[in-house]
Amino acid sequence: MLKGTYTALITPFKGPHHEIDFDSLEMLLENQLKHKIEGVIVLGTTGETPTLLPEEQKALIAFVVKKLKNRMEIIVGTGTNSTRTTIHQTQIAQDMGADKALVVTPYYNKPTQEGIYKHFEALSSETTLPLVIYNIQGRTGRNIDTDTLRLIAELPHIVGVKEASGNIEQMMEVLATICKPSFAVLSGDDALTLPLIALGGRGVISVVSNLMPGLVKKMVDLSLQGDFEAARLLHFQLLPLFKGAFLESNPGPIKEAMNIAGLQAGGVRLPLCTVKNETRSKLQEILGALL
């Protein structure tokens, strides 16, 4: 059952051509294990998946599976804007050892609510891998309406949703109307994790836990235990970083923050760019107060 803290992994790069830095990735994974994070997401937005070649994507899955299988839950992002390709990508992830797939709403095509439902219906009929829906209108151009999500949640193999709509009212509707032990609502926004858990959510798929896995996990665990007073203190301690991580397009700021903190995250691939000087200065200020 999905519950707790899951890290949306960055993809560390090195050198002028931004090749994948597997040595830094190994250190990142070891740090996640050290802090007992429940799971990691490979090939998500934070991993810069659209800029990775197919062979690089497979190499990342293989590397993480080799390091973490049976030690931590491995969730692979397999969603695309093509139903056929999404099915294919999900089958590859399953064959390579993923525990679950994270599947974003089809982007760019702008499907209707019926098209969104049929997309997930087709996928669920072609796999036995547990599926986590990823709702993020800001990147896809389409929100999954609560009525549609309720229907999707009844499909085979659907185990939860990463809610990144940024709309707390919608999150409340989802929590109030899709009441199944087998369906988890996870925050897709670090800053909304605490309020979402207070309303009945079960955790977070976090960007900031790349850098601060221990503090993020402690905040989530305290919230899930009902100790909201202690969790709130951690929430406000981390809030500047939660906000700082999205001063520019993710994952630029979190990678820069990791580099500032001495973790080798490297740069970002085009069309993303190195963060602006004012963003770097703000991140240095935030980390100076936090570390």
Convert the pLDDT of each residue in 203-243 to its tens digit: 999 999 999 999 999 999 999 999 999 999 999 999 999 99
Residues in a beta bridge with 186: 162, 203
pTM of the model: 0.97
Q: What is the mean pLDDT of the chain?
A: 97
Please choose, from the candidates 207, 169, 200, 170, the residue with its C-alpha nearest in 3D space to the C-alpha of residue 186. 200
Active-site pick, 67, 100, 117, 162: 162
H or E stretch at 290: helix 277-290
Cα-trace Rg, the chain = 18
Told to judge if 162 belongs to the known catalytic residues of this protein, a careful annotator would answer yes
pLDDT tens for each residue of 158-186: 999 999 998 999 999 999 999 788 999 99
Told to judge if 134 belongs to the known catalytic residues of this protein, a careful annotator would answer yes
Contact 235, 222 (CB under 8 A): no
Domains of the chain: 4-227 (3.20.20.70)
Report the pLDDT value the prediction gives residue 1, as an integer from 0 to 100: 85
Cα angle, residue 272 at apex, residues 211 and 8 outer, rounded to 5°: 35
Please choose, from the candidates 140, 136, 170, 133, the residue with its C-alpha nearest in 3D space to the C-alpha of residue 154. 133
pLDDT tens for each residue of 71-108: 999 999 999 999 999 999 999 999 999 999 999 999 99
Report the pLDDT value the prediction gives residue 180, as an integer from 0 to 100: 86
Active-site pick, 134, 217, 255, 282: 134
